[in-house]
Chain A
Amino acid sequence: MNKKVNNVVEALNGVQDGMTLMLGGFGLCGIPENAISQLVKLQVSDLTCISNNAGIDDFGLGLLLKGKQIKKMIASYVGENNEFEKQMLSGELQVDLIPQGTLAELCRAAQSGFPAIYTPAGYGTEVAKGKETREFEGKMYVLEHAFKADFGFIKAWKGDTSGNLIFKGTARNFNPNMCGAAKITVVEVEELVQVGELDPNQIHIPGIFVQRIFQGTDYEKRIEQRTTIPKN
């Protein structure tokens, strides 16, 4: 089934002010760079963004923060971003911090048709405030509701025109969990191939979870912490 669109402009057709977006990535690793650039160009605003992190000042979701396009951020860790801090402290930006495993599972719940999940994470902390809790076999759990999003922006390594996807290294992170978790899943890939070229045994996410796929361009793939040992 053909899911291919010609470019990022077609891929983001329909994105509007006030929408809720899911964006894959951990730090700057595996983020949908092309979709983010296009969101900046479209100047859509009042967005709610669900993503593990909020980028850095001049890259990733930091670019949307700079343009004050984000109204609310749902994330697990938002350090490394001065603009974020400024907007949060001034009250311009609403922030909902939730545990990383819960964030992943609430994407997966949306993908899988579960309305909510019970997780032990955050029980007894301010994260559980106002939420239903329940005991199972002597341990306490918090009820967390599946995400609802309009668009999911995913970055994969390889994909075919049917939307079958393969991820690389730790750039996989939240990307597979967000596929099919929003009304429309948009995937950008480093290498888009024809159907039949990928081995079905190697597919991480089947195309059924994908509505649009396009060949990405100009990936920067910035490294946040370049840690190496000297060659000698």
Chain B
Amino acid sequence: MLDKTGIAKRIAKEVKDGYYVNLGIGIPTLVANFVREDIEVEFQSENGVLGMGPFPFEGEEDADIINAGKQTITTLDGASFFDSALSFSMIRGKHVDLTILGAMEVSQNGDIANWKIPGKMVKGMGGAMDLVASAENIIVAMMHTNKAGESKLLKKCSLPLTGVNCVKKIVTNLALLEITENGFKLLERAKGVSIDEIKAATEGNLIVEGDIPEMNI
């Protein structure tokens, strides 16, 4: 079974040379730490920066340079700043190659719910609805089950949707899965996790074809 860092490490392998990547808050943010050093990748933050670098050294933080999680950051050589409309032009116009974000639920047809729990605090969708409506390549990073042990990979989402038919791949603590016409296709198992364990934790239709290899991270 993977921890959050393990999920981030597996997703990092999906990041290819020349990609512009938008990382959501939480596990996705960790992905930046594990991208191969021999490839060129730029990270976009939707509040208006491309070419995001690591956190600043103590005492060097600048209130005018933050990421979408409102954390102080630095920029790398070749970085640029821009306004919010242009930022979402990059996203809506499909110039960003890969979007990695967290989710509360994903359905077997690729619907995603990650912004609202009715009756509890509603914080808002931020840029998530724009991202999922336009990105061609969306990978979800999340735990396979919620805190109550219930599956987050469902036939149909129960929470208000963020977007429809949009998720392409999911990496959880148990497995790497792909969304296909017939449901969640199991591609890889986390180390030491059996197919039966993944079946038991998946409420939606799980497709298992042939040998399912263990993840190599």
Contacts and interface: CB of A to CB of B under 8 A. Distances in A.
Contact of A127 (B71, B81, B125): B125
A52 to B, nearest CB: 7
B164 interface: yes
Contacts of B87: 101, 104
Interface in B23-80: 45-49, 54-73
B192 interface: no
Interface string A70-107: 00000111110000010010000001010111111101
User: How many residues of A sit at the interface, in one of the four size bands?
Assistant: 35 or more
A26 B88 CA distance: 14
A13 interface: no
Interface in A22-65: 26-30, 52
A125 interface: yes
A222 interface: yes
Contact of A121 (B73, B111, B130): B130
A202 interface: no
Nearest to B58: A228
A125 B129 contact: yes
A170 B127 contact: no
Given A170-B65, A221-B63, A120 B134 contact: yes
Nearest to B165: A124
B126 A76 contact: yes
28 contacts: A26-B68, A28-B63, A29-B47, A77-B124, A77-B125, A79-B121, A79-B123, A97-B125, A99-B126, A99-B130, A101-B85, A104-B83, A120-B134, A124-B161, A125-B164, A126-B160, A126-B161, A170-B48, A172-B83, A173-B47, A173-B83, A225-B70, A227-B55, A227-B73, A228-B56, A228-B58, A228-B72, A229-B55
Interface of A: 26-30, 52, 75-79, 85, 88, 95, 97, 99-105, 107-108, 119-127, 157, 167-177, 204, 221-231
